[in-house]
Chains A and B, each alone.
Chain A
Amino acid sequence: MAVMTMREALNQALREELQRDEKVFLMGEEVAAYQGAYKVSKGLLEEFGNKRVIDTPITELGFAGLGVGAAMVGLRPIVEFMTFNFSILATDQIINSAAKMLYMSGGQYNIPIVFRGPNGSAFQVSSQHSQAMESWYAYFPGIKVVMPSTPADAKGLLKSAIRDDDPVIFLEQERMYGNKGEVPEDEDFTIPLGVADVKREGKDATIVARSLMVPVALKAAEELEKQGVSCEVIDPRTIRPLDIETIINSVKKTNRVVIAEESHPFCGVGAEISAEIMERAFDFLDAPVRRVSGADVPMPYAKNLEKLAIPDINTIVKAVREVAYLD
């Protein structure tokens, strides 16, 4: 094990997979000469050359579609979006081409491709650069959606995503690139997609959190522990396929759930998890499922307003106390 940042863990995963498989290549805006807008691809151009690490023009629809086409004939593209806000231009190719190709070709063309990059809020980058896109992509059958919250998960899950035979949306978080954690250095270290992780065990309430909200939920759990409430924190890690069993098992134990998410609440992943819990474990619930979501507004620029738009430790603590009927 070595301690490294999320950025370094992602870089290591990319490097190892580029080394392992000649069919893997990385493309996107500023991934090569500039070393990545967030330096995730640092050193890769130098090591693998411009055949495997490719700077693209700012042409998201075009290079997303190019990646899907290359995947149709056996390559394994990793397409970086500088942020997932820009993936909106590429949704036609992600949704209409990548997600549907295997099905509408009657099983003839699978699409082994990874679309990756930062998702969600950053630091005061306002409305068009702060969006959490997971519910968009998770909506569509044919796509897998991954959201790591620790450096180790980031590495293990990215390696699995690159080896996966289907399109994977791999959502990183700009605020988390500098987060540190222990990471196995074994080149065969992978984490299977579709398996949730219990980040903290507890017995009084379950907090389901993903990506940016995982460290926040863990801190909230520490605070709640001091207040006498033992929280279990579940990180699904993969949104689709969702490991609902692990969540349900936790709910059956704690009987109370808070779902914490950075994204908007409406039609969100939290709403989906909530519905699943209602359908599968209604009789085990001692309180209604509670969501703590990002504000249902475009992200503002002003520092104080931005802070208000993103759930924090206090909002999660408050929600857990509510479902525990402590206030």
Chain B
Amino acid sequence: MTKQATPTPSRAGAEEASSTGVIEKETVETADRAQLQREHEEKKAEQKGRIEELDAETLLKLLHQMILIRRFEEKCAESYSLGKIGGFCHLYIGQEAVAVGALAAIREDDYVLTSYRDHGHALVRGTSPDEIMAELYGKASGCSAGKGGSMHLFDAEKNFLGGHAIVGGQIPLATGVAFASKYKGTDQVTLCFFGEAAVNQGAFHESMNMAQLWRLPCIYICENNQYGMGTSLERAMSLQDVSQKACAYELASEFIDGMDVLAVREVVARAAERARKHYLPTLLEVRTYRFMGHSMSDPGNYRSRAEIEKYQERDPIKLFTASLREKNILDDNRLAEIENEVREAIEHATRFADESPEPDPKELYTHIYANQ
């Protein structure tokens, strides 16, 4: 299968970002190192152009958040293999720049909803790693009192309205949250994250239509990691240019490289302004990649080594670290400090989760109805 013969403007970026697609997977066994290096340099040059807009403290905070997610998820993988975490556990490794960049562009009183791959969003939103890890461990001190687990992290204090585990289910919900902001006359915006597989669901299309029809301040962020579980985009979507789907509903849309945290931030900031000032929704297609399987039980045999290597070379943390170093914002000492802070936070979270009690058996029958 080949790409479209005449790429659209939004698609052009995608072609560049992943010019190889399925064909390479079938014909090339290992990645072309020189080519990957050239791409890395190009992306870095682009990202460095954006660095000027932010102060060093903000930039380092973004890096800190990305590393926090990466290490947190690595710890989750370890804890899962030890049997400390059960059920389904979907890791965010490789996609960190999306949540970090997007959430850096909105206010604390804005709303965030996402899918079951939700650890990263919750961490960046400010839910404590302690409470998230405790939730994964099924403990009473978890951010959803041990009743939601990995796929259902919630934090009302942070306006984090959850991880939702039916593909696309959060899209109408987010549309309703945005509807409420407009109804109440506030200027809060809602960010709704979902994977590209959700785009094939009716819930996505019904929401796009209502959002534009009623001008709702919702930003739909499609994290296109190119696989719905084990099924590649090519095998599941007739028109693979997700951002183009917006045309059907006259929605504003943009395509962004999801490996560049600053690019994501910039585009989401633009969409947020549109939503805040004019009550207009936006669909963003953020091209990214998950380095791990779909969930902890997925060995990921459907992807070639070359493809994974290619994206690892485009690792958002690696890219951002290199850009910051070249701009003299980051050095070895500062990076080591960040890694240490992150390690301590995760060790604390793991200890907290381990030592927290399980939910009291009587909690089985609480929270079913509001006024019990």
Contacts and interface: CB of A to CB of B under 8 A. Distances in A.
B371 interface: yes
Which of B152, B164, B173 is most buried by chain A, counting CB atoms within 10 A of its CB?
B173
A75 B148 CA distance: 24
A196 B169 CA distance: 35
Interface in A61-102: 61-75, 77, 92-93, 96-97, 101-102
B258 interface: no
B144 A66 contact: no
B368 A92 contact: no
A51 B148 CA distance: 34
Interface residues of A, number: 41
Interface string A166-195: 100000000000000000000000000000
Contacts of B145: 106-107
Interface stretch (B176-184, B219-227, B265-273, B331-339): B176-184
Contact of B203 (A57, A62, A77): A62
Interface stretch (B7-15, B54-62, B205-213, B230-238): B205-213
B111 interface: yes
Interface string A8-26: 0000000000000000010
A236 interface: no
Contacts of A92: 166, 169, 203
A67 B177 CA distance: 9
B281 interface: no
B58 to A, nearest CB: 28
B244 interface: no
Interface in A15-60: 25, 51, 56-57, 59
Contacts of B210: 56-57, 59, 62-63, 66
Contacts of B154: 104-106, 108-109
B209 A57 contact: yes
Contact of B148 (A57, A67, A105): A105
A107 B147 CA distance: 9
B221 to A, nearest CB: 16
Given A105-B156, A107-B366, A165-B371, A93 B169 contact: yes
B169 A66 contact: no
B217 interface: no
Nearest to A110: B370
Interface string B173-193: 111111111011000000000
Given A25-B183, A63-B210, A102 B367 contact: yes
Contacts of B370: 102, 110, 112, 165-166
Nearest to A142: B368
Contact of B176 (A69, A102, A110): A69
Given A103-B368, A109-B161, A165-B370, A65 B144 contact: no
Which of A56, A66, A142 is most buried by chain B, counting CB atoms within 10 A of its CB?
A66
Contacts of B171: 65
A105 B148 CA distance: 6
A222 to B, nearest CB: 38
B172 A64 contact: yes
Interface of B: 111, 113, 142-148, 152, 154-156, 161-162, 164, 166, 169, 171-181, 183-184, 202-203, 206-207, 209-210, 213, 366-371
Given A61-B172, A65-B203, A69-B173, 14 more contacts: A65-B169, A66-B173, A66-B176, A69-B177, A70-B179, A73-B161, A92-B203, A101-B162, A104-B148, A105-B152, A105-B154, A107-B366, A108-B156, A109-B154
